[in-house]
Amino acid sequence: MSKELENKVALITGGTTGIGRDTAVLFAKEGARVVFSGRREVEGNETLNLVRAEGGDGLFVKSDASKSVEVESLVQKAVEKYGRLDVAFNNAGVEGKWVPLIEQTEENWDQVHGINLKGVWLSMKYEIRQMLKQGGGGAVVNMSSVAGLIGAAGAGVYVASKHGVLGLTKSAAIEYAPHGIRVNAVCPAVIETPMAERAFGEPAVAKRMLSLHPLGRFGKPMEVAKAVLWLCSDKSSFTTGQYIGIDGGLLIGPNPDA
């Protein structure tokens, strides 16, 4: 049986833990050569070992998605190592501080938007530039959130960044469709990751959040990774400018039994 990403070169930002890590491992299992980035070297090497355990070939690059020079260098290193770039998952993100809007600081706005929104823009800028240099063709997936589709009290800065990701995704999809480059996004609800543990780890908060998911549980990182794989594979060849809600039903309404 052929693998979904056989002989493809994939780039993943935020690949050191959680969804990014599981996506790197899945991509390797499906035949991709995986270049992934993150700001933490120890966790990056752990992910690299997992990629190799699947028989995959990979490269970890310590990189900050909010810095233009580092993102450009990341793409260059991928091309230097493997000769091209075929698919990308722009996953790097932070939750920032969740407090009422009038209590937010410019520092928090700049940090959250620098990584969640500017980071996605910078990543696409250099990834798509490389794909065009190769003659076009390719697939890009951006990490948004259910927070990119609805509001959330206390999380306005984060919500704004994730709404922005969807706007960038749609615009890039229109611009580069003539070149055969597809751009889509995923919108997870609460997934069992270190970020979710920080945001919703308190028992009372976790219970309230769980009640918003009709399926009655939180998602697993690999469930998001599989959606990203589909969007990066030829199986989604007629899909661009779209988002997939991986949300346990959150967007359709709360759990009636909660």
pTM for the complete prediction? 0.95
Q: What is the pLDDT of residues 85-123, one digit of tens each?
A: 999 999 999 999 999 999 999 999 999 999 999 999 999
Give the pLDDT confidence score for residue 202 in this predicted structure: 81
Rounded CA-CA distance 170/162 in Å is 13
46 vs 18: CA distance, rounded Å? 12
Q: Which residue has the higher pLDDT, 205 or 220?
A: 220
Residue 37: active-site member: no
State the catalytic residue, choosing from 37, 63, 144, 236.
Answer: 144
Active-site residue, from 158, 176, 236, 243? 158
CA-closest candidate to residue 191, choices 44, 22, 34: 22
Inform me whether the pLDDT recorded for 38 exceeds 90: yes
Q: Which residues in 47-188 belong to E strands, given as ranges? A: 58-62, 87-90, 138-143, 181-188
Q: Which of 162, 176, 236, 243 is catalytic?
A: 162
pLDDT at 195 over 80: no
The domains found in the chain, sorted by start residue, are 9-190+221-246 (3.40.50.720)
Percentage, residues of the chain above pLDDT 70? 98
158 has catalytic annotation: yes
- Is 162 designated active site? yes
